[in-house]
Amino acid sequence: MGLKDRLLQFIDYTGLEIAVFERSIGLSNGAVHKMGEGTRNSTIDKISVKYTDLNIVWLKTGVGNMLLSDERNEKTITVNQTAISPNKRKGALIYDIDATCGLNGRDIEFTDEKVIGSIDAPEINPESKIIFATGDSMLPLIASGDRVVIRKIESWDYFNYGQVYLIITNEYRLIKRVRRHPKDAENLILLRSENPNYDDIDLPKREIIHLFIVENILSIKNIL
């Protein structure tokens, strides 16, 4: 399935006629049927700005889910409030640390004094860590205030493009989707926000101090 077929699938999901969809993003009649792998980025940008729930990575590559909300649902795990302990240190530790879905970053240190509790639940790897996300650049996938479960990547051999990572440098700690850099994949990575109002970031690999994959988003269920 190519880009045009995926776009037609999304248009069918919206319930719009193709001509109506084309007009909604300022394209001429018949433009959709002319699209292919060489479709201009400016055209893709028009689509992403108008239809914010469409997963542009999926549209371009077929990787992932069509809708960003689907990916959020897929990544979200629900645990009971009773699984959280502010005192015990059993299971995955919760840290009073925020990772910015933006550019206000600092180094990150998982020290004992920053532990504010733990979650003991079978859905969560006890070796993972739990921190808080702030900012809106990863909406609608990750919202400000979400608890996210992260796991450290020790080697580039275990790295996969297209996934969401917490990236630590001397200046920033950012949650972004990491894409292969189109010009220099050996030395650079491309950091991409889900929110189309944010630009891509070119980051030299050598500046990365730590890399954590975002495994899950936590939903806490209160027991009445």
Fold topology of 3-66:
434 Repressor (Amino-terminal Domain) (1.10.260)
3-66 and 74-221, same CATH topology: no
Report yes or no: 97 and 68 within 8 Å, Cβ to Cβ: no
The percentage of the chain sitting over the pLDDT mark of 70, rounded to a whole number, equals: 95
Burial class (CB in 10 A: 0-12, 13-18, 19+), 19: middle
- DSSP, residue by residue, 143-172: -TT-EEEEEE---GGG--TTSEEEEE-SS-
pLDDT of res. 131: 94
Per-residue pLDDT band at 191 (split at 50, 70, 90): very high
Is the CATH number of domain 74-221 2.10.109.10? yes
Q: Domain ranges in the chain?
A: 3-66, 74-221
Mean pLDDT value across the chain:
87
Q: Which residues does residue 147 pair with via DSSP β-bridges, in sequence order? A: 132, 218
Q: Centre a 10 Å sphere on the Cβ of residue 157 and count the other Cβ atoms it contains.
A: 6
pLDDT band at 18 (very low <50, low <70, confident <90, very high): very high
Q: What is the pLDDT of residues 65-102, one digit of tens each?
A: 888 778 888 899 988 888 888 888 889 999 998 887 75
